[in-house]
Structure 1
Amino acid sequence: MGVRKKTNKNPPVLSHEFIIQNHADIVSCVAMVFLLGLMFEVSPGAHVEWILIANGFGGCLPGTAKEPHTEMMPSTVNHFHHGIKDLATVFFYMLVAIIMHAIIQEYVLDKINRKMHFSKTKHSKFNESGQLSAFYLFSFGWGLSILLSENFLSNPISLWEGYPHTLMPFQMKFYYICQLGYWLHALPELYFQKTKKEDIPRQLVYISLYLVHIAGAYILNLNRLGLVLLVLHYFVELLFHVSRLVYFSNENRQTGFTIWAVLFVLGRLLTLSLSVLTVGFGLATAEQQGLDLAAGNFNILFVRITVLAAICITQAFMMWKFINFQLRRWREHAQAQSLKKKQAPSKSKSKKDKANGVNGVSSNGADSPRAGKEKSS
């Protein structure tokens, strides 16, 4: 169910304010239409394609595990490939992401904001970090479980061996569907959350980068490499937003930013190393070369250079933003320290002047009321 924010105002129906206040309820009703389609077979199979994973393949693949007591009979494992039907599934889970966003905002973040009494600037940043922390934590844990179950970490050669990886297990395909749905939901949330005009370009940039890289890895059948890089990136981003939440609660706690800075640089180096190793060396020496759209093979020099260029440019852009962020922090810290040093001598001088002034008045008889009486007499 959606969440409706309670307000005393009753805006006109279908006005901008009405849609913003009740967007979670409206989206819930739309999603309910697809769910009801599973119960009532009005159009058989149509609603299933919107909600469940389509483009499936049932069978035993090379290297598929078999049961110990049924060695003569291969185990049936369902694998999936990407297709045009995925657009409908991504749309449905985009609606789910909007509903979950509203639930987290209403029942968690808004309650904390009322207790902490943040300023408007901190309020928006706290909401952003709170939403992203929940998403990064969920995505990191889910992605790591897929990596461990598929043995991608223990066998790095599998990142490029057997390319094209057109068939995926259910968990991996569902992971990519949810990732695309979440980052697509971030676009209408710019309107629902009344994002400031000066913040919209920044958010559009990183939303677009996520969508381009995730969709690129999904379409080009680089899903294994994309999964590893996403898990690595989400872990570093999770640490940053958790550190920012801690900083908002107590500004003296900045240790998390130092740890994040070190891991951020290491994350960029690991991302570039894995990308060059997989795309630059692994796919370049793979057996299947050439462009074959029907087979899902994109292993040609132009595609490899384009993928590496996109990854390198993105990592360089992130490092440039990171360096500017650190320089701004050091500059603000230096200014704060200089202000403290200037205020300390001024306070000590004012205390000394006050002390000297009191002593001078008490020691000078001409300035005291009693001395004035004596002079007049």
Structure 2
Amino acid sequence: MAFRRRTKSYPLFSQEFVIHNHADIGFCLVLCVLIGLMFEVTAKTAFLFILPQYNISVPTADSETVHYHYGPKDLVTILFYIFITIILHAVVQEYILDKISKRLHLSKVKHSKFNESGQLVVFHLSSVVWCLYVVVTEGYLTNLRSLWEDYPHVYLSPPVVPSDLSFPFFWRHDVLAHDGEEIPRQLQYISLYLLHIAGAYLLNLSRLGLILLLLQYSTEFLFHMARLFYFADENNERLFNAWAAVFGVTRLFILTLAVLAIGFGLARVENQVFDPEKGNFNTLPCRLGMLLLVCVAQAWLMWRFIHSQLRHWREYWKEQSAKRRVPAASRLPARPIKREPGYHENGVVKAENGTSPRTKKLKSP
């Protein structure tokens, strides 16, 4: 991992070099941006990496409020957030996960899964806290009508901007560091996340997408926390049972909110004209496409969940049946072997006093 002295060197710009030094590369790039803020010539360019560029001031009774909009320059800001996430990823791996895994003495497969769950626990916990803060401060939970009223929600409040900019692209940055068998599974989940979050971001449904993210990240946090406890103690599986119950309830809540906001809420909004320039996508084909995407994704996740649970149950019952089919011969007590008095030496029975215990027959003269 980064920030660690290595004895082995890799060819410059090779895949192994990038994998083992990606945190150091990201740190150098972030440092260059921060240094650029110190000079007037480069400060304007450096601010492109740090702050959103599409803002508008809305006057209020007391002062004015700044709102933001998305645009192509946000890609530069997202790139900067990716480098920040890579550095945090390396710090968590170096100073927390590696020290814990050394004490657990895990196998190679479990060690890889432990690192993956440890990183995602930190990511999902921070994401849940931030999403919950935004949802509570903006009043989305207390007023569900705000999810579809005044659509399109073209302008975003300042707390929502980091969520929409960073969540789509920094979920997993180290796909190349996984084994070849793990890359397809990682790409499936990453594509699913990117498709939903980018859709909510570009179709101006950030409010609904933020609440759905809060539900999804809460479930993922519970799952990876259960895996960490399982690696620490294999007999501890209570959190998996809690996660299984929460997983099904979360799928139901996500479908309900999606149907309520898209199927009923947006259908009653007066402005139902397809106008990409104004950010309005509230038409019947768009609503059906969004609902179909959400329903198919939740059905696929539920199918994967049921398939995984059935596989674990089959393995559990196979282990239980194997324990019951213990050979009957091993259960029977061993039959005692009758030994003649004395002791054995080189296959010959000797008496206690050194003479043979067998009586000799007298030969007739």
TM-score (ref. length: structure 1): 0.88
Whole-Å separation in 1 of the counterparts to 2:280 and 2:225: 40
Alignment partner for residue 318 of structure 2, among 332, 335, 339? 335
- What one-letter code is carried by the residue in structure 1 that aligns with 2:138? E
Asked if 2 retains the 8 angstrom alpha-carbon contact of 1:133 and 1:242, the reply is yes
Structure 1 Cα separation of the partners of residues 311 and 234 of structure 2? 17
Which protein has the bigger helix share?
1
Amino acid aligned to 1:121: V
Quick one: percent identity of the two aligned structures?
44
- Residue of structure 2 equivalent to 1:190: 175
Tell me, yes or no, if the aligned pair for 2:128 and 2:218 is still in contact at 8 Å: yes
- 1:293 corresponds in structure 2 to 276
What SS class does the counterpart of residue 167 from structure 2 fall into?
helix
Q: Which amino acid aligns with 1:32?
A: L
Query: How much does 1:283 deviate?
Result: 0.3
Q: 322-331 or 21-30, which moves further after superposition?
A: 21-30
Indicate the SS of the match to 1:144. Answer: helix
Assess, with a 3 A threshold, how the Cα gap between structure 1 residues 345 and 108 changes in structure 2: closer, same or farther. Answer: farther
1:238 to 221, 245, 268: 221
Change (3 A) 1:161 1:345: farther
Query: 1: distance between equivalents of 2:329 and 2:308?
Result: 32
Q: Which moved more, 1:331-340 or 1:317-326?
A: 331-340
1:346 is displaced (CA, Å) by 5.4
Structure 1 gap ranges (5+): 65-72
- Aligned pair 1:308/2:294, yes or no? no
Q: Which amino acid aligns with 1:293?
A: P
Quick check: 1:4 aligned with 2:3? yes
Report Cα offsets for 1:337-368 as digits up to 9, x if no partner: 1122224855423xx02xx2x3x324899x99
Q: How far apart are residue 181 of structure 1 and its match?
A: 3.5
Counterpart in 2 of 1:326?
A: 309
One-letter code aligned to 2:77 = T
1:250 aligns with 2:238: no
Q: Which residue of 361, 369, 372 corresponds with 2:338?
A: 361
Could you tell me which residue of structure 1 aligns to residue 94 of structure 2? Answer: 106
Write the distance in 1 (CA, Å) between the matches of 2:215 and 2:5: 39
Per-residue CA distance 1:91-148 (angstroms, 9 max, x = gap): 1101111111111111111111111111011011101100111000000011001111
1:67 aligned residue: none
Q: Does 1:161 align with 2:144?
A: no
Describe the SS at the equivalent of 2:267. Answer: coil
Flag as ranges the 4+ runs of structure 1 deviating above 4 A.
344-347, 362-365
Q: In structure 1, what residue type is equivalent to 2:147?
A: L
Q: Which moved more, 1:139-148 or 1:102-111?
A: 102-111
Amino acid at match of 1:39: M
Instruction: Tell me how far apart the structure 2 counterparts of residues 20 and 234 of structure 1 sit (CA, whole Å).
Output: 26
**How many equivalent residue pairs?**
354
> In structure 1, how many angstroms separate the alpha carbons of the residues matched to 2:75 and 2:64?
27
Residues 1:50 and 2:49 aligned together = yes
**Which secondary structure does the structure 2 equivalent of 1:369 belong to?**
strand
Is 1:125 the counterpart of 2:113 in the alignment? yes
Cα offset, 1:15, TM superposition:
3.9
Letter of the aligned partner of 1:361 in structure 2?
K
In the other structure, the counterpart of 2:209 is 226
8 A Cα contact 1:50 1:92, kept in partner: yes
Measure how far apart 1:25 and its partner are. Answer: 1.0
Compute the TM-score of the two structures, normalised by the length of structure 2.
0.91
C-alpha distance in 2, partners of 1:319/1:175?
26
**Alpha carbons 2:341, 2:357 under 8 Å: kept:** no
